[in-house]
Structure 1
Amino acid sequence: MPHANAPLTELGRLRLARCVVDDGWPLRQAADRFQVSVSTAKRWADRYRVEGSAGMVDRSSRPRTSPLRTPTRTERRIVKVRLARRWGPARIAYLLGLNPATAHRVLVRYGLARLAHLDRATSQPIRRYERDAPGDLVHVDIKKLGNIPDGGGHKIHGRAVGGRNSSAHRDLARPRKIGGRPNLGYSYLHNAVDDHSRLAYTEILPDETKETAAAFWTRAQTFFHTNGITVARVLTDNGSCYRSRLWRNTLTDAGITHKRTRPYRPQTNGKVERFNRTLLDEWAYAHPYKTETERRQALPRWLHTYNHHRGHTALGGLPPASRVPNLTGQYS
């Protein structure tokens, strides 16, 4: 496209060229008529003779050759160091004897300018995916969370007072394995996140056994079905509860295909892993709760906000409810 102050558009160039070539106007007369230089008029007239109307469009200003461009071998070395050591452009440049701006320009060219675009475990570029419709894939995972003692733990009062509260309000149903060590027990957050819409369902349960996991999924499936989502596949890690026959039969009876991640590759189940992190940052550790009961009472409200009102960066700032048009209570 021509710039804002260009005297000729593509149509103007065509009219100028036709005046010169078809109507026989002198170049100077045509240049005066269209308020351009004689050399400009000649350029468009010559293109019109050779290419016709197609020659009136802008061409790339990129040179045919770039003798000063970084050699391909050097570019490969920059990329290799980036993937192998996860270094920034400055350190890579000092190692290879280059200008840091050169290393950065090469990393931008290959889409490796940000470390967030590389997998932490393998340093390979992250391959992102998203299913086409709600229910095509649901990510399921469990997050272990320590219970809060009455009066608050160390995150509120510090280690000294928090430790005393933990010792005074330990879980009597769980005998101490080591004398004097607090034993409040744990909560287990069972989470299910739809891959396409990011609609989430979570429950706080006392353990992560196969019976508890299977019962959770039954309720989660009901939640998705109530909101118009038919689940076709479920993706989990390789936890023992997800390798059980009970879990397999629960999904098979519902007509759902079960997929498991590759061992030691939690990135495959990344959407629910990221939800776990959001859950901790914005709910579990967002406020100085004084009791475990207080924290648990805050979960339903936060979950409603997450599904209906909180903007999601992967959805263009819209909440998950925006991708589930018939979601119950969407406009509340």
Structure 2
Amino acid sequence: MARDGVAVDPVFAALVARRRAGERFDVRAECARLGVSTKTFYKYLRRFEIEGVDGFYPRSRRPLTSPSLVAAAVEDVIVAARKDLAGSGLDEGAESILFWITDHPDQWPPGQVVPSRATVNRVLDRRGMVVAVPQRAPKRCGRRFEADHPNTRWQMDGFEVTLSTGIKVMVLHILDDCSRFDLACHVASSENAHDVWAAFTTAAAAYGLPAQLQTDNGTAFSGKRRGWTSALEANCLTLGIRHIPSSVGHPQTCGKVERAHKTTRKWLRSQPLAGTPEELQTQLDTYRVIYNEQRRKTHLGGLTPDQRFRLGPRDGPGPDTLTAPFLVTECITSTSGCIGIDGTLVGIGRPHAGQPATVFRQGDRVTVFIGNEIAAEIVLDRRRRYQRQSGLELPMS
């Protein structure tokens, strides 16, 4: 075949060359034998006369003009935004670049439309600014969760930082699950019970108490899985805060604060290395202002963490702090006559084992139906894993 974009075969090329050399033959008949049109034959003949053998090679099909091509001035601004964010130690992905462009209208070329996230990524790829990373697991592999209100759930964890003197210190990090507001970055000598409580009380004094506190299973945070109660767990119980330890060997449970560690570390790498814990604390206080008040987030609708946190409504300890949504769920009663609700087991009796149950919930108030009959009414005691039969408030007959 002789087509644009596909090299011609040797027989056709020889036929064109013979004609150019002056040989006379029936062009129509030869073209019919090779399965090409006479128009194609004469097109390649003209190319061969002008370009020689190069005329037989495929030509680019790129259009002469590209009206939708991103202007060079737009690409320059995108690259400048990328460099500015990277130099500041902040995330420099496409979404952050788009927020930077929105916040710097004086840098944007007049009359140009702000590009999409995909266009920004293509520009960065053309400019060689995209770093290849290993393929990640699809998002569907994990179970995502997010609190509906600020102070509904805090996540707390720690990470190490090495000072210029070589001494390692611990940064105790607290993040609000709903707004991603950075509540505290507390420098401590280690991850110990005293400093963990100090970091928590500092955050609580400034922003109020949460309804839930989620941590990993470090000994300073939780002793539940080891058969004892940590000081943090005991204090949370006294304040009416539900403490939630993560699954063992599953840091994704506290994934939001784990991801926040990465952002914090990246910013610290762009700063002079601190020599003392006090200098590091000053740097982290500056970072929290930048993170909370300047970095806008897509999942927050373009708001900063500070704006979303202040937007409220804020939750707090106790079941009646917020008007809880009304939920209806269905489940199967276990062989021991129990159903699971928010990490607790509610006993409704062995006679109902294996039967489908319909659960009506509003906050901690629960009504359980088996068929059309009420099996139980209860107010969950979240301090207990198992809601004992004696704690059930059965309706009067």
TM-score by length of 1: 0.48
Larger radius of gyration: 2
TM-score (norm. length: structure 2)? 0.40
Q: Which has the higher helix share?
A: 1
Higher strand share: 2
